[in-house]
Structure 1
């Protein structure tokens, strides 16, 4: 390849096209559980949205439910980058057959970053504060029962006294405008090249460079629609977790409609998850509570399954 202004401009155009075409093809999971919110500053400030009590018959004046900006949380944008370089001699001698795959890998890494950020937060959600001032996954979130009386609800299930800890698995309700997680985007990822002969890096180091950068962040959304468990992924525990999610009520006593529609599992639990959600018959605990028998599977086809490699596969009892 001849190194001149024309050839380098053509190469830059080809690289930009390869990057921009590849990003939309990358499979990602964060969009299933996260609201994507644009950002126009270094950080976004979110008010704590007090739970709306539900629809009422309009008699007299409207009843206002104030959204307080005094209780609020902030998500700060961060800048992420990745870059590589090629010696001029390698480019001159046409030793750049790997260039397009390398650029596509940059695109894949940029497209996967939201997964890394969102699911990284999930893994620490049992010890990180959410929008209500409690841990995102906690045993005593503020709620109400069906009579409107203040009570607590839990969106976390730990192993029982006779159970061993399992890798964490998660349930989500994603059928509402408010989602369990937030992905905040400030500047989309784009590729930048330093390939002009007059560039300092070319003149001084005899190298051409390509780099990707963007600004974004992730944060916690509505905890009512998220559930974490480190109890074994069995039919009994799945039923218990679903029941706990559904036990939430609005202040007027109406159900919160928080029944989950998707189960997220790490790759180490894929077999158990598929058996629970895709098979018609599974082992079930016998009446003696000691042995197992084969029985009809009540959870077959009830939830979508997402096996996510970004979920930490380590077993821990926390």
Structure 2
């Protein structure tokens, strides 16, 4: 039996952290493709500028000053953690190799967690509000100056699986992933004098973070629960390319991706990759890229 020393505990921690990092870095997470990553410096961040889609105008006379605080949209950070224990006996008996996969899985879970909360947000986009007070996917987004406000839709109703047409080419994507404290591997190792070690004869390790997800510009995405067909996809594409700002100027939106769950994947590939549909030349072949999102509802 080995004697538990500070050096042995430190060596164990390094091994566990190495396994954690292996699992963390081995993941190709999706959230960065659909969400802009924004650093946070407090418990919440207010996105007042979301009320104004940035676009230049000709400078005639004085500058036209727009208030960034006209519409406040707040994203509140949330705390997350995962904690595991290693029995002291296993360290004494040199069985640390048994725990490598466990810590690798912890790293994998931490790396994929941003996907979980981002797609939790996306799946609720038909019922959760964005900066203008409407649901992110809605038929009644107010666009225009006071006295001439029009209702604009970025959704199709239906009862099927969600699919989303999105413009992911711009610095600000349709969704926001906010980081206050990044995912960090920690340990509680106070030696034999630790209350936890004394009472339970085990060492404690964990990962924690303070993060949150929120909605960006609704104009950058079009959500549908209607059947995924070429006609419905074309209608969504046309609607997005027709979006204007409050002054009636085209925003120049050009969808780049069709985001689908696993159920719609092969249908999406047929629509966008087939040379012909029902014996007719497929005029929307390669119109956008297909992105499979297993966490999409």
Is 1:239–2:240 an aligned residue pair? Answer: no
Matches within 5 A, 1:29-178: 29-51=30-52, 54-69=55-70, 71-144=71-144, 150-159=149-158, 165-178=159-172
Pairwise CA distance, 1:251 = 4.2
| 1:182 alignment partner in structure 2 | 176
**TM-score normalized by structure 2?**
0.91
Do the aligned residues in 2 keep the contact of 1:79 with 1:215 (CA within 8 Å)?
Answer: yes
**Inter-partner Cα distance in structure 2 for 1:273 and 1:133:** 32
Do the aligned residues in 2 keep the contact of 1:54 with 1:254 (CA within 8 Å)?
Answer: no
Pairwise CA distance, 1:223 = 0.5
Structure 1's 53 and 36: CA in aligned 2 closer, same or farther, altered over 3 A?
Answer: closer
**Inter-partner Cα distance in structure 2 for 1:191 and 1:184:** 19
**TM-score normalized by structure 1?**
0.85
Is 1:299–2:293 an aligned residue pair? Answer: no
Which of residues 276, 280, 289 is equivalent to 1:281? 276
Pairwise CA distance, 1:228 = 0.8
**Inter-partner Cα distance in structure 2 for 1:53 and 1:99:** 51
Pairwise CA distance, 1:92 = 2.7
**Inter-partner Cα distance in structure 2 for 1:50 and 1:4:** 58
| 1:162 alignment partner in structure 2 | none
**Unpaired segments of 5 or more residues in structure 1?**
160-164, 283-292, 313-318
Pairwise CA distance, 1:48 = 4.7
Structure 1's 50 and 189: CA in aligned 2 closer, same or farther, altered over 3 A?
Answer: closer
**Inter-partner Cα distance in structure 2 for 1:14 and 1:141:** 52
Do the aligned residues in 1 keep the contact of 2:166 with 2:222 (CA within 8 Å)?
Answer: yes
Structure 1's 251 and 44: CA in aligned 2 closer, same or farther, altered over 3 A?
Answer: closer
Structure 1's 295 and 262: CA in aligned 2 closer, same or farther, altered over 3 A?
Answer: same
- Aligned pairs, number: 294
Pairwise CA distance, 1:184 = 0.7
Pairwise CA distance, 1:254 = 3.3
Secondary structure (helix, strand or coil) at the match of 1:255 reads coil
Do the aligned residues in 2 keep the contact of 1:143 with 1:248 (CA within 8 Å)?
Answer: no
Pairwise CA distance, 1:274 = 1.6
Pairwise CA distance, 1:104 = 1.5
Q: Which stretch shifts more, 267-276 or 89-98?
A: 89-98
Secondary structure (helix, strand or coil) at the match of 1:254 reads coil
Is 1:265–2:263 an aligned residue pair? Answer: no
Do the aligned residues in 2 keep the contact of 1:119 with 1:311 (CA within 8 Å)?
Answer: yes
RMSD: 2.2
Pairwise CA distance, 1:27 = 1.1
**Inter-partner Cα distance in structure 2 for 1:215 and 1:252:** 38
Pairwise CA distance, 1:63 = 2.0
| 1:316 alignment partner in structure 2 | none
Structure 1's 73 and 275: CA in aligned 2 closer, same or farther, altered over 3 A?
Answer: same
Pairwise CA distance, 1:140 = 1.2
**Unpaired segments of 5 or more residues in structure 2?**
none
Do the aligned residues in 1 keep the contact of 2:50 with 2:216 (CA within 8 Å)?
Answer: no
Pairwise CA distance, 1:299 = 2.4
